[in-house]
Amino acid sequence: MNEFYIINRFFKKKINDSCVKLGIGDDCALLSIDSSKYFITLSTNSLVSGVHFLPNVNPSNLGYKIVAVNVSDIAAMGGVPKWITISLILPKYDEYWLSLFSDGLFKQLNYYNISLIGGDLSKGKLLSITATIYGVIQINKQLTKSGMNINDMIYVTGTLGDSAYGLEILKKNIQVSDKKHKLYFISKHLRPRPPVKFSQRIRIIANSATDISDGILKEIYNMLSSTKYSAKIYLNYIPLSKNLRKYVNYYDALNLVCNSEDYELCFTIKKNNIYFLNKLKKNTKITCIGKIIPYIGRRLLLLNYNSKFLKNPLGYDHFN
């Protein structure tokens, strides 16, 4: 079974996008945009078996998630996701696996109106999925991590920690007997839904933003790293779902939050724009958890913090 058969059967689909002049099938894709109006935004993320997902995960969920984690980066800048390339390293040809993966992949691509325009296919010992996503944003309308100002209020969307709890269920470290709650947590981990439309609405009033992929405190720390500011964070303000509060205590929840890939949005906004923020949020849940302050010798001032219980505030790191 050769790679061209696999590509043509599972990944070459009709593209309804006038900007795509040439898609899958040639050495490169060709895109046409108005460079006088738009920046191109791009990001790359990988999912590696045993590192980012368990070996027995449903392939459909992997197809879903590789799109979601990349879309989340575009959302963090207030951009519109448009095109994606996928590179697969497969241990062997498995028609059933490819069918499920392709199904989950294209359901997500169709949901966000994203075109698959190319990629690569190889055989290797370890299953690995890498995607590069391309989006557009009006020139000088982008959100960046470091655009905050003194006295900006720090907000997050959604609830945090559910994804980490879902991972613990999948790893069989936790037992949840209620099927509805179990599915809720697992779905939060395997099928995140980044707030793309919300980020596009608030880019006109927000000063900075990032997605939450490695724990909220680490993300805020990284936002501050190239600035002269610190952040005051009220840990007890961090939004937790009713489901999570039902199963864990406050400090266990915070430990989950600090290591959770929730793919929600963290952003800062000046106080005078909160009125407009509440008009623009629509059905998106938002919570203020802190404030940008002058540099105090360290990046994070954590209120309601107890080092005895909070084990790793700065969360997950691939190499540490």
Provide the residue ranges of all domains of the chain, joining segments of one domain with +.
3-138, 153-303
Supply angle C-alpha 51, 78, 253, rounded to 5: 45
Rounded CA separation 133/114 (Å): 9
pLDDT in tens, 92-104: 989 999 999 999 9
292 vs 23, more confident? 292
pLDDT in tens, 45-56: 999 998 888 989
Measured from the Cβ of residue 207, the count of other Cβ atoms closer than 10 Å reads 18
pLDDT tier for residue 9 given thresholds of 50, 70 and 90 = low
pTM beyond cutoff 0.75: yes
* pLDDT at 319 > cutoff 60: no
Amino acid at site 10: F
CATH number for 3-138 (one of 3.40.50.1450, 3.30.1330.10, 1.10.287.3510, 3.30.930.10): it is 3.30.1330.10
- Per-residue pLDDT, averaged over 128-141, amounts to 93
Assign domain 153-303 to its CATH architecture: Alpha-Beta Complex (3.90)
What is the pairing mode between strands 229-234 and 153-157? unpaired
- The whole-number pLDDT of residue 8 equals 66
pLDDT in tens, 170-227: 999 999 999 999 999 999 999 999 999 999 999 999 999 999 998 999 999 999 998 9
